[in-house]
Structure 1
């Protein structure tokens, strides 16, 4: 199961890193997209783009940290949070971030970019799967302790 956590978290962190970079560095395609999406909200597109980039960057760092720590034999605590709880929170944060991205894609864009929709759905599915795996591991650990 640790290999599955490693591969899925590494994959999600790697894929999302491209989107975090594009938003934080102001790639033209990202700037244009956020001008379109900010208009219905009446907010500054640059603020919207950069804040979205920060959220995605936090998810990337969480996914990559989870991937790295999933390989260690004795699961460390990260910021005094047990590994299972950390990994669950990371995957939940990524899942919620992608649900927000899907909401924005369908409610704020004139025409949704289907490739972005598919990527977000894939991350939602993988994060949900990881949460189930982590909860199963937690239950096994509790049963062994009894």
Structure 2
């Protein structure tokens, strides 16, 4: 059951965050305008900020989707590199968690008015990442 939960949560988070990575990298108008607003207080180029953020979120998406796929594998290591699944999944979820904490900090400190839907999505990703980390490291055993 634990691997099923890890699969579902990681796949869900990867799919949801992929929309945000695409909007930033493709330069959708809503994303461009948001980053113009958020770049002003820190005085950096909004295009660089948006693309850099898009690359970071893309890396998180790849990590979450890879974790979902690896959770379906019978043995508990990522075979070519002999990385224990629980270690890979923990690092991926920690990376996603920290990225979303950064998103929340940016949302509340760089925007004039925070976009509450984005706040709720970031909080959901943080919650699921913490849940996955707890499941993966419960009793320091590998999930079976």
Number of corresponding residues: 140
State the secondary structure of the residue aligned to 2:6.
helix
Q: Partner residue of 1:74?
A: 75
CA distance in 2, matches of 1:3, 1:105: 32
Matches within 5 A, 1:1-146: 1-77=2-78, 79-136=81-138, 139-141=140-142
Aligned equivalents of 1:140, 1:90: Cα separation in 2: 18
Please give the TM-score of this superposition, normalised by the length of structure 1. Answer: 0.93
Shift of 1:72: 1.1
d(CA) in 2 for partners of 1:74 and 1:81? 11
Q: Deviations over 1:69-114 (max 9, x none)?
A: 1011112326442211110000000000000000000000000000
Of 72-81 and 60-69, the range deviating more from structure 2: 72-81
Q: Which of the two has greater helix per residue?
A: 1
Distance (whole Å) between structure 1 residues aligned to residue 116 and residue 109 of structure 2 = 14
TM-score of the two chains, using structure 2 as the length reference: 0.94
Structure 1 unaligned residues grouped into runs of 5+: 142-146
Q: Considering only aligned residues, what root-mean-square deviation do their CA atoms show, in Å?
A: 1.1
Structure 1 runs (4+) greater than 3 angstroms displaced: none
